Amino acid sequence: ESMFVGDDPTQNLVEIPKILFLSAKNDIWEPELMVECIICARRWHQVCALHLDHTWPEGFICNTCLLEYNIKRKENRYIASKLKLTDLASKLEQRV
């Protein structure tokens, strides 16, 4: 027996015999990165908080503290509306 696999739907699928597959168990625990609010010290999952040290090097401030203390966060300069628009990007957006 074999399976047909492929990454690109426009390309032909590749046939791979099932004997080449390895049986495995998904039991590997990977710790999630956490960030701590510099004001209230609450911990958040980094991905839930949408925090990257590269974007906000001054540290993480949670939304609760931002609202409670009326703090203005430095604007993220890497948002989509600020990216340079190219012909390729326009065509991709129209197609998708």
Q: Residue ranges per domain, the chain? A: 32-95
The residues, any chain, with a CB within 8 Å of residue 39's CB and separated by 6 or more, are 61, 62, 65, 69
Q: Give the dihedral sign, CA 49/54/55/60.
A: positive
Per-residue model confidence (pLDDT) at position 86? 87
What does the pLDDT average to over 66-86? 85
Give CA 42 to chain center in angstroms: 22
Q: Which residue has the tokens 């690109």?
A: 8
pTM (two decimals): 0.57
**What's the rounded Cα separation, in Å, for the pair 5 and 7?**
7
The tens digit of pLDDT for each residue in 22-66 reads 999 999 999 999 999 999 999 999 999 999 998 889 999 999 999
For domain 32-95, say whether CATH 3.40.190.10 is its number.
no
Backbone angles phi, psi at 36, to 5 degrees: -115, 130
Which of 7-11, 25-29, 90-94 comes out lowest in average pLDDT?
7-11
pLDDT beyond 80 at 94: yes
SS3 71: coil
At 64 the pLDDT is 95
